[in-house]
Each structure stands twice: as C-alpha cells, then as structure tokens.
C-alpha cells in the first residue's frame, strides 16, 4: 500500500520545518503502521512539539484511510504560531477537527484527564547544545527549534521525567523519539538506565557532522 506524505503547505517563520529527522520518523512509521495491525489496540497518540503538524497529520490521514480505527490524535507545541500552522496544514489535508491541539511547554498545560492516556508518544526534540547554537547563529534569545539545553539533552530528559505520568499503563505503550550525536548521549543513556527505561535504537542516519538516531523507549510499569 502506497501512502503519500502529508501536504505541508504552510511553513511559518519560527516553526521547525520538516527535515531529515522528521522523515526518519515518518519513513519508519510508514513501514510499521501502514501494512500491519500495529494500531489495533491504540486509542490515543501524542505528537509532542508538533511544529508544522506533519507527524500528527500523517496519523490522522492513516486513520481516515483505514476507517476501522477509533484513535484520537493530540498535537502539542510550546509555540502558539506552531499550533496555528499545524491547524492550517490539517485543513489543507481535508482533516478539519481531526486533531486535538494543546498549546503547552511540554506537559505543563496538559489537563489531569490526560494522565495515563497515551499509547504512543512521539517527540523530535531540539537537540543541539545551547553554546553551539549561540556561537553558530549569534542568537540573543533561546531558539525552541534547536536549543536542547547546555549539553543538548536536557529538554529531552525533562520530557522523559514527566512522560510516564501521561503514558497508558499498558506493556505495549511506547515513546518514539529522536536523538543526535551532537548531544551528550552518555549522560542521557545513564539517565535512561537509572530510571529503568528500556530503550531500543531503531535507525540511524548520518548527516554532515552528526548521526541522527530514531529510538523506541518503553517504561516498566509496576
């Protein structure tokens, strides 16, 4: 079954445009979810840091195509302009009101009703160290598209600290996320092991001076 990528017509200033890391996620999802029954027991999907909405829209299109699935897609972003951009792209794909949007800094504005809700979470976080960003681009303020913290992994670490609260208490629930060799992966991996998370590297892609890595993480619920 061939499945076209979402139409992303609206790309707004300050919103992260679909890039190599985006398509590393998207290409994997097309292989895993289109021709298999992997979505049969899924009820809620979260696209954290949705940007243009491309990942959330992909799942919404897939659900519309298959029809038999009753899945709710949520998309969140720290930038209001990103939420607006994603909504316009959603409409461009004839998916009006198919996605629920949450304007939030990670989980800060999520309602309590969404705790223990999500079967799948997706996060393509900013992963460049702050100093690299400021030195290369001479930015005077934090760039939410690229700045992952002093060592590049701090924002992802914060996400992983709170994600278990909102992940469904199901052994098949998981988080797909992107890392890069530009961040301090040793410290990140120590944090993951300390929390008892089970991480699996799914794919890698070398781009210029870094490898971008697609990971799948499961959380051991007690």
**Token pair in block for residue 123:** 């996060």
Contacting residues for 52 by C-beta, under 8 A, at least 6 apart = 8, 10, 11, 15, 16, 17, 18, 82, 85, 86, 89
Contacting residues for 174 by C-beta, under 8 A, at least 6 apart = 120, 121, 216, 217, 218
Q: Is residue 2 part of a domain?
A: no
The pLDDT assigned to 149 comes to 64
The pLDDT assigned to 132 comes to 56
The pLDDT assigned to 137 comes to 46
The pLDDT assigned to 38 comes to 80
Q: Is residue 73 part of a domain?
A: yes
The pLDDT assigned to 53 comes to 98
User: Domain containing 84 — which CATH number?
Assistant: 3.40.50.150
Q: Is residue 11 part of a domain?
A: no
CB 69 within 8 A of CB 38: no
CB 181 within 8 A of CB 207: no
Domain holding 208, by residue range, is 20-218
If one counts the domains in the chain, the total is: 1
The pLDDT assigned to 133 comes to 47
Q: Is residue 92 part of a domain?
A: yes
The pLDDT assigned to 209 comes to 84
Q: Is residue 14 part of a domain?
A: no
pLDDT in tens, the chain (222 residues): 577 899 999 999 899 999 999 999 999 999 999 876 788 889 999 999 999 999 999 999 999 988 778 899 999 999 999 999 999 999 999 999 999 999 999 999 999 999 999 999 999 998 767 755 444 444 445 566 656 567 778 999 999 999 999 999 988 999 999 999 998 899 999 999 999 999 999 999 999 889 999 999 998 865
Q: Is residue 7 part of a domain?
A: no
Q: Is residue 15 part of a domain?
A: no
Q: Is residue 130 part of a domain?
A: yes
Confidence (pTM): 0.91
The pLDDT assigned to 179 comes to 95
């Amino acid at each position: 079954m061939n499945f076209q990528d979402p139409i992303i017509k609206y790309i707004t200033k300050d919103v992260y445009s679909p890039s190599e890391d985006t398509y590393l996620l998207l290409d994997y999802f097309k292989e895993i979810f289109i021709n298999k029954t992997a979505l049969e027991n899924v009820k809620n999907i979260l696209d954290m840091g949705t940007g243009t909405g491309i990942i959330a829209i992909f799942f919404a299109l897939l659900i519309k195509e298959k029809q038999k699935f009753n899945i709710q897609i949520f998309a969140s972003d720290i930038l209001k302009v990103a939420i607006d951009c994603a909504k316009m792209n959603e409409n461009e794909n004839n998916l009006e009101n198919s996605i629920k949007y949450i304007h939030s800094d990670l989980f800060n504005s999520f309602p309590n009703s969404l705790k223990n809700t999500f079967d799948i979470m997706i996060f393509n976080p900013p992963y460049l160290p702050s100093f690299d960003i400021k030195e290369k681009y001479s930015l005077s303020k934090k760039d939410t598209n690229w700045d992952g913290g002093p060592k590049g992994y701090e924002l992802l670490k914060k996400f992983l600290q709170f994600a278990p609260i909102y992940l469904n208490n199901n052994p098949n629930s998981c988080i797909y996320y992107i890392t890069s060799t530009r961040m301090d992966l040793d410290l990140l991996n120590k944090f993951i092991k300390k929390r008892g998370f089970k991480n699996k590297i799914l794919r890698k892609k070398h781009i210029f001076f870094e490898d971008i890595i697609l990971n799948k993480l499961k959380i051991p619920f007690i």
